């Protein structure tokens, strides 16, 4: 039996273990950035008191629009150089965005914070565009989706770390009034903004060390980086692939659902449990723990069940939980809101893996950028959710993520029946 035959069906070969560990750590680092930022919409709304919920949520628009803008450049880097180069560029720009929050604090203008988060997310877009397909390429294509789910299992560790950092270093230090609302007098704005940026500056310092570690480590070339691929011609071909196109649409609505659900958790829970934002963040932490545990569980279940079947199951369950959030509320609504995180845990890597099925290594490089560009859903759906809160209140606003889960479930059902 030759080596190719013996590696069939193996999740990860020994020669790729160190590379896999280093790449998986990147999944953790972007999880920190995503979840450190989500609860801050409420903080920025309090700091810049003239902002509505919709306006404050433009932080999320800037953040996830950065993902969209850098997905194609990220693919171009991997095409011209290598996945490793893309990972290093992504980490570097990510760290730069973190450092830019310091001058934004000195200027005390909301727009400069938006610019800083945009730069930070540009780095994340490049990083994800290269890290996700790199994981897929590290082994047998038959186990690619399961391998990506395994790597993505480290993302919730970063997510939990990010939300804990936000709770301990930021939210617990925010002044609140008698009703538990964050209230920041003009004399405390500078101090508050320095509190907000401290975790980011700390992360930037650690990222510099991670960058150096990856730079000096020999990483395998698992595909031909010098193969000529015309990005736009390849995109045209990809969008004639019905499975890939529907996967991009599903990914758009998944990211929109995830970011809006988590961003406004800190709005829903205080209203329904009458607690402070700091206490609400403890429930948010619980949601992320569930997200982490559920991802490991789903990764194990993929040994026995098809990925598309699990995706359909989780989508339907998320729809039911959204109905409880909207129409029941109270403690039941809060626990249903937390439960949605468990349903979401397998969606991003599963949609990514299913959408990449049947593609060549060269096509996967370009296809990954399209699936990362779908993160634009977070930029567009989250402010729309904020607008709905201003208009109808926080409970009814969760009809929007419900619609997103309907579309994700439709992709899973179509994948089962047609692809």
Q: Is the pLDDT of residue 198 over 50?
A: yes
Q: Is the pLDDT of residue 47 over 50?
A: yes
What pLDDT, in 10s, does the model give residues 54-91? 999 899 899 989 988 987 888 788 878 888 899 999 99
| 222 vs 339, more confident | 339
Q: Considering the domain boundaries, does residue 320 fall inside one?
A: yes
Overall average pLDDT of the 319-326 stretch: 98
**Domain membership flag for residue 366:** yes
CATH of the domain at 78: 1.20.1250.20
Q: Which residues contact 181 (CB under 8 A, 6 or more apart)?
A: 46
Does residue 180 come out as left (phi exceeding 0), alpha (psi in the -120 to 50 range) or beta?
left
As a dihedral over the C-alpha atoms of residue 396, residue 410, residue 75, residue 96, rounded to 10 degrees, the angle is: 20
Taking the whole predicted model, whether its pTM rises above 0.75 is answered as yes
Q: Decide if 300 contacts 292 (C-beta within 8 A).
A: no
DSSP state of 81: S
Q: Which two tokens stand for residue 214?
A: 């990856």
CA-closest candidate to residue 23, choices 126, 150, 151, 137 = 151
Q: Within a domain: residue 6?
A: no
SS3 content of the chain, % helix, strand, coil (to 5): 80, 0, 20
Task: Give the structural domain span for 58.
Answer: 15-219+229-417
- For residue 226, name the pLDDT band (cuts at 50, 70, 90): very low
Residue 3 has pLDDT above 70, yes or no: no
The whole-number pLDDT of residue 53 equals: 87
- Residue 223 predicted with pLDDT over 70: no
Q: Is residue 1 part of a domain?
A: no
Q: Residues 113-147: pLDDT tens digits?
A: 999 999 999 999 899 888 888 888 777 777 777 78
Nearest to 372, CA basis, from 117, 93, 126: 126
pLDDT for the residue 129? 83
Task: Give pLDDT, residue 174.
Answer: 85
What tokens were used for 332? 């039941």
For the segment 347-371, the average pLDDT, to the nearest whole number, is 83
Structure tokens at 320: 């039911």
Q: What is the mean pLDDT of the chain?
A: 87
The answer to whether residue 224 sits within a structural domain is no
- Residue 399, domain member (yes or no): yes
Query: Between the CA atoms of 144, 150, 155 and 161, what dihedral angle is there, to the nearest 10 degrees?
Result: -170
The domain total for the chain is 1
Q: What does the pLDDT average to over 102-110?
A: 94
Q: Is the pLDDT of residue 163 over 90?
A: no
CB-CB contact of 40 with 361 (8 Å): no
Assigned domain for 121 exists: yes
Is the pLDDT score of 333 beyond 60?
yes
| Per-residue confidence band for 9, with pLDDT thresholds at 50, 70 and 90 | low
- Residue 7, in any domain of the structure: no
């Amino acid at each position: 039996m030759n080596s190719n035959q013996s590696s069939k069906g193996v999740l990860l070969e020994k020669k790729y273990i160190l590379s896999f560990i280093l790449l998986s750590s990147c999944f953790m680092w972007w999880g920190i950035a995503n979840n450190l930022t989500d609860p801050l919409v409420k903080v920025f709304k309090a700091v810049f008191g003239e902002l509505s919920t919709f306006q404050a949520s433009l932080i999320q628009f800037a953040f996830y629009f950065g993902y969209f803008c850098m997905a194609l450049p990220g693919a171009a880097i991997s095409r011209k150089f290598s996945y490793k180069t893309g990972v290093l560029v992504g980490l570097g720009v990510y760290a730069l965005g973190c450092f830019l929050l310091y001058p934004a604090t000195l200027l005390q203008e909301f727009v400069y914070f938006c610019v800083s988060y945009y730069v930070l997310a540009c780095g994340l877009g490049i990083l994800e565009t290269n890290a996700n397909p790199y994981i897929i390429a590290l082994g047998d294509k038959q186990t690619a989706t399961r391998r990506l789910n395994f790597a993505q299992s480290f993302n919730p560790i970063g997510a939990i770390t990010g939300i804990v950092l936000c709770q301990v270093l930021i939210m617990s230090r925010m002044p609140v009034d008698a009703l538990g609302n964050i209230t920041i007098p003009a004399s405390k704005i500078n101090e508050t903004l320095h509190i907000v940026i401290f975790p980011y500056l700390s992360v930037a310092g650690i990222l510099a060390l991670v960058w150096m570690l990856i730079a000096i480590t020999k990483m395998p070339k698992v595909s031909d980086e010098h193969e000529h691929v015309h990005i736009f011609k390849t995109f045209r071909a990809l969008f004639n692939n019905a499975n890939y196109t529907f996967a991009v649409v599903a990914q758009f609505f998944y990211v929109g659902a995830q970011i809006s659900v988590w961003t406004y958790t800190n709005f829903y829970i205080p209203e329904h449990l009458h607690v402070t934002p700091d206490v609400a963040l403890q429930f948010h932490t619980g949601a992320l723990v569930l997200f982490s545990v559920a991802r490991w569980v789903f990764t194990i279940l993929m040994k026995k069940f098809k990925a598309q079947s699990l995706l359909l199951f989780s989508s339907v369950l998320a729809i039911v939980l959204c109905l409880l959030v909207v129409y029941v509320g109270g403690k039941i609504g809060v626990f249903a809101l937390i439960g949605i995180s468990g349903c979401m845990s397998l969606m991003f890597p599963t949609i990514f893996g299913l959408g990449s099925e049947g593609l060549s290594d060269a096509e996967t490089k370009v296809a990954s950028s399209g699936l990362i560009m779908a993160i634009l859903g977070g930029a567009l759906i989250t402010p729309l959710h904020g607008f709905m809160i201003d208009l109808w209140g926080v409970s009814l606003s969760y009809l929007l993520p419900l619609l997103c889960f309907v579309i994700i479930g439709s992709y899973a059902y179509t994948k089962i029946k047609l692809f």
